[in-house]
Structure 1
């Protein structure tokens, strides 16, 4: 443009001004158009490819909130991409307009390095929280075990997970510190009922009572849907000089496991008393009193 104007006989100063007035807006507009195109293509890529992977992970998580979480994470990634594109385009536009970027970039580098060095753990927490949310390892309401801490998830964010311990205490676990995680309510579990009885008890009778008691609980409408398969009588699993222990197990949802165990113990104890067999051996409690197997 400058050379063309000079060839047409325009003065050097006028040609420079015309070039600045005409070319800079065109250059800025071109940068904006390229940025918008990059943001659009990146958004399509994130929603199609990364969003698909997130949705598949959400389906494997088997959580009622999984689909909503997948949509939220995909939207968040798309927003992050647009912010990055806008940030880069902003500095390019400043350069096109003739603004010296060296002092700005130097100051931003120093500030960024200082913040990054002092906030390493925070960045790690955010990245770990994002990955935990993408993989759907736990959800609000799940009972999880993190290290030596067990509790119900009351809240989760990108930085911290809040747990409610069985004693009522609240634990705040930074997501970056989660290395080994156990989810005790995902899927199914095995309700295990061990009944210790005196050695004078007839073994066959004990095992028969275990099986009939489990089937009786299974017939109860309150517990029918908790049985994912037929009860399994294992037989004797332990023996001492004065007692032996029989076991029956049932595959059940995690949240129904403990109520199911209590119901089966109660039924076994009731049947052993009614049928005249020696009742389950009483075990010393921590306070020195005697307790039955069902508490």
Structure 2
């Protein structure tokens, strides 16, 4: 092949349309690459934010995880919970939030990129946008409860209202949280029933185990036992409870005597409070009552009881003059005597007219003319 033949072949070959390649295809490629890069950047930002939330540093470089100024250390000193437990709970919350934010960001970026690519390919996206609007309205009416559940679950996670292992009161269900998601919460109550509660239906949450708890005891004490004696008894009970390592580790403070809560004719009720670790207040209450009962027995103090007076009425005595009636008492029902026994009824009633006439006749008085 000569040079002249090669030149003629090149001149006869079809020319590339560089204007077309630099127009729509290039813009589509830029849109796809930009969407991928933006998705990666958003995931990195969300991951960094989640890591900061998990560590409790909120992105601060000066307050490290092991620093005494970190929020984890401050919360541990305030609540008495170990820092590892606090970090695990924050890591779980941050992981849930990060996973959800990453999914939402990916979906939004992908939808926008697809619409832009279709527009560059000269597709009419107006019907698509109109259909999306109609679908959005339909979802707004049909799936509003589902959206409400997810939004409620999202804010519960962000605000750290409760987590797995907490004892909560959400109204109908009271128990330990076994599973917690963005749509529903699974709660196991004391009887073993597993409640599945939608997050959108939870109007208020009472967390019984977040941070710290308090054991509140209402102790009935006789009036013969003074307040000073009860304080001594409480100190002895606290010393006995300290011998149990489990109970001692659950108590954050020594028992506090709030004072007399109520009084009655038999005893007074003294309120005693103990600050404990989360979910351990009931164990401390049982241990305190057990040691308090033993201390009362050692000191000879009796637990006061409510005195009751029972009034009972005796059955009326029947006329037993007829021996035959007594012998047949099991076979025939007894009849009430015509003459009432006033001694059984108390004060005598007024006499009847027949009794007045009979009394007058017996005394010799003529009831007709009044002569004797």
User: Normalising by the residue count of structure 2, what TM-score does the alignment of the two structures yield?
Assistant: 0.64
Measured in 2, the distance between the counterparts of 1:53 and 1:269 equals 47
Q: Residue by residue, what CA displacement relative to the aligned partner does 1:111-137 show, whole Å, maximum 9, x if unpaired? A: 222122211111111111112122222
Unaligned regions of 5+ residues in structure 2, if any? 1-13, 59-70, 76-84, 308-372
**Equivalent residues of 1:218, 1:227 under 8 A apart:** no
Deviation of 1:224 after TM superposition, in Å, equals 2.0
Q: Secondary structure at the match of 2:136?
A: helix
Which has a greater percent of helix?
1
For residues 236 and 106 of structure 1, do their structure 2 counterparts lie closer, same or farther at Cα, with a shift above 3 Å needed? closer
Measured in 1, the distance between the counterparts of 2:245 and 2:52 equals 41
Measured in 2, the distance between the counterparts of 1:249 and 1:197 equals 16
Q: Which residue of 2 aligns with 1:107?
A: 131
For residues 131 and 283 of structure 1, do their structure 2 counterparts lie closer, same or farther at Cα, with a shift above 3 Å needed? farther
Structure 1 residue 128 corresponds to structure 2 residue 130: no
Deviates more, 1:100-109 or 1:60-69: 60-69
Unaligned regions of 5+ residues in structure 1, if any? 1-13, 285-295
Q: Residue by residue, what CA displacement relative to the aligned partner does 1:175-210 show, whole Å, maximum 9, x if unpaired? A: 122232111011222223332133333443333222
Structure 1 residue 32 corresponds to structure 2 residue 55: no
Alignment size in residue pairs: 270
For residues 55 and 203 of structure 1, do their structure 2 counterparts lie closer, same or farther at Cα, with a shift above 3 Å needed? closer
For residues 37 and 245 of structure 1, do their structure 2 counterparts lie closer, same or farther at Cα, with a shift above 3 Å needed? same
Which has a greater percent of strand?
1
Q: Secondary structure at the match of 1:223?
A: helix
Which one has the largest radius of gyration?
2
Q: Secondary structure at the match of 1:64?
A: helix
Measured in 1, the distance between the counterparts of 2:32 and 2:18 equals 22
Measured in 2, the distance between the counterparts of 1:44 and 1:168 equals 42
What does 1:157-172 correspond to in 2, within 5 Å?
157-172=181-196
User: Normalising by the residue count of structure 1, what TM-score does the alignment of the two structures yield?
Assistant: 0.79
For residues 103 and 213 of structure 1, do their structure 2 counterparts lie closer, same or farther at Cα, with a shift above 3 Å needed? same
RMSD: 3.0
Structure 1 residue 244 corresponds to structure 2 residue 278: no
Point out 4+ residue stretches in structure 1 off by more than 6 angstroms.
Answer: none
Measured in 1, the distance between the counterparts of 2:157 and 2:45 equals 20
Q: Which residue of 1 aligns with 2:236?
A: 212
Q: Which residue of 2 aligns with 1:262?
A: 286
Structure 1 residue 95 corresponds to structure 2 residue 141: no
Measured in 1, the distance between the counterparts of 2:87 and 2:266 equals 47
**Equivalent residues of 1:210, 1:248 under 8 A apart:** no
**Equivalent residues of 1:211, 1:248 under 8 A apart:** no
